[in-house]
């Protein structure tokens, strides 16, 4: 069995405080990490199967076409640190190509991660695996228990490859993305030489392609968005009624981002232990941003974060890019 360390459970009070502060803010918001309880992770998996949602399959095609070229950059037997590992499927597909020496899967959705890492361990018994149930959106660093684990497996000075696929970095604004990439750089630089980051980034493109990807005909993305309210109810003890909230998603060209909101259907008051908030008819709760990048702007960001010259691979339509940047 893989080892498993759960970091955020002890931090429930902090999550509750963060949620309450967001609901009381002007305009009200809830961070996108709250989309990913067990059901939310499954709904996201369903989104990736939708015809309209191109990022996952486009990225998969890039990995399939250019995995060999990527393997020439990523050092063999590296510690593969998978950020937002989810069902671990992307890393699993790269195992035969990248041949990692160890696998560290990080995700906020703890139960989901535990099952996924457990299954992957069955298929690769010789690769040491560690699951980390933690929220890295505020700060990305290996907890002491993970450093001990690397030490015990004699991997403290192995090269480290931070793997951040799926354009999840799009949830962060440019300033937050820079901060996260700096922490990722420090994580790589703390390992042996040759490490770096392998990261998938969704690109700026036509609104006519972007908007349906976040507002699909079946309403799966709407269900994913509304499910955040159920997760908030569980975490905070609030009484959100998902049926009374409409899914809203649009592309803001000036900011290069998709915005996702839930709009109140009628006036209503939401209550939780120690607080409440009134929502006017049509008032929105902001649940997610998904930033889109040009390759040039993202290369500059990687440089600013401390990485060396980046290489990137893309698809025929230039919709998505996978970057490799060495830590140096």
Nearer to ligand AVJ, 133 or 166 (CB): 166
**Residue in 50, 30, 51, 57 with CA at minimum distance from that of residue 225:** 30
Asked if residue 319 binds ligand AVJ (CB under 6 A), the reply is: no
Binder to ligand AVJ among 20, 47, 85, 91 (CB under 6 A)? 47
DSSP symbol at 293: B
Asked if residue 231 binds ligand AVJ (CB under 6 A), the reply is: no
Nearer to ligand AVJ, 20 or 199 (CB): 199
Min dist. Cβ of residue 166 to ligand AVJ (A)? 5
Q: Where are the beta strands (DSSP E) in the chain?
A: 3-6, 79-83, 102-107, 129-133, 159-164, 192-202, 245-252, 257-264, 268-272, 275-279, 284-291, 311-314, 320-326
Binder to ligand AVJ among 103, 214, 298, 323 (CB under 6 A)? 214
The 69-98 contact track toward ligand AVJ, x by CB under 6 A, reads ------------------------------
ω into residue 27 within 30 of 0, thus cis? yes
Cα–Cα distance, 182 to 188 (Å, whole number): 10
Q: Binding-site residue total for ligand AVJ (CB under 6 A)? A: 12
Nearer to ligand AVJ, 49 or 119 (CB): 49
**Residue in 224, 258, 198, 277 with CA at minimum distance from that of residue 36:** 224
Asked if residue 171 binds ligand AVJ (CB under 6 A), the reply is: yes
User: Which residues partner with 246 through β-bridges?
Assistant: 263
Q: Where are the beta strands (DSSP E) in 22-120?
A: 79-83, 102-107
Nearer to ligand AVJ, 112 or 149 (CB): 112
Binder to ligand AVJ among 168, 227, 314, 321 (CB under 6 A)? 168
Binding site for ligand AVJ (CB under 6 A): 47, 55, 166-168, 170-171, 214, 221, 260, 288, 290
């Amino acid at each position: 069995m893989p080892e498993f360390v759960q970091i955020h459970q002890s931090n429930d009070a902090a999550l509750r405080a963060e949620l309450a502060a967001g609901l009381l803010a002007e305009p009200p918001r809830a961070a996108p990490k709250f989309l990913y309880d067990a059901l939310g992770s499954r709904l996201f998996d369903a989104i990736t199967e939708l015809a309209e949602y191109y990022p996952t399959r486009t990225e998969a095609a890039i990995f399939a076409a250019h995995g060999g070229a990527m393997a020439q950059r990523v050092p063999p037997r590296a510690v593969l640190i998978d950020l937002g590992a989810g069902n671990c499927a992307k890393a699993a597909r790269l195992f035969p190509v990248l041949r990692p020496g160890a696998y560290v899967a990080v995700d906020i959705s703890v139960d989901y991660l535990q099952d996924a890492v457990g299954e992957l361990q069955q298929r690769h018994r010789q690769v040491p695996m560690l699951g980390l149930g933690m929220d890295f959106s505020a700060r990305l660093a290996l907890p002491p228990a993970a450093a001990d684990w690397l030490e015990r497996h004699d991997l403290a000075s192995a090269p480290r490859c931070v793997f951040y696929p799926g354009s999840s970095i799009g949830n962060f604004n440019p300033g937050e993305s820079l901060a996260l990439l700096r922490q990722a750089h420090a994580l790589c630089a703390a390992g042996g030489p040759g490490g770096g980051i392998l990261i998938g980034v969704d690109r700026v493109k036509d609104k006519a392609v972007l908007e349906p990807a976040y507002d699909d005909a079946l309403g799966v993305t709407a269900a994913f968005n509304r499910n955040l309210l159920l997760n908030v109810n569980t975490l905070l003890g609030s009484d959100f009624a998902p049926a009374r909230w409409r899914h809203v998603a649009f592309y803001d060209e000036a900011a290069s981002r998709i915005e996702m909101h839930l709009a109140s259907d009628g006036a209503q008051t939401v209550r939780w232990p120690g607080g409440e908030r009134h929502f006017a008819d049509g008032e929105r709760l902001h649940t997610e941003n998904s930033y889109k990048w040009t390759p040039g702007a993202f290369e500059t960001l990687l440089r600013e974060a401390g990485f060396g010259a980046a290489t990137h691979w893309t698809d025929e339509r230039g919709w998505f890019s996978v970057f490799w940047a060495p830590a140096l």
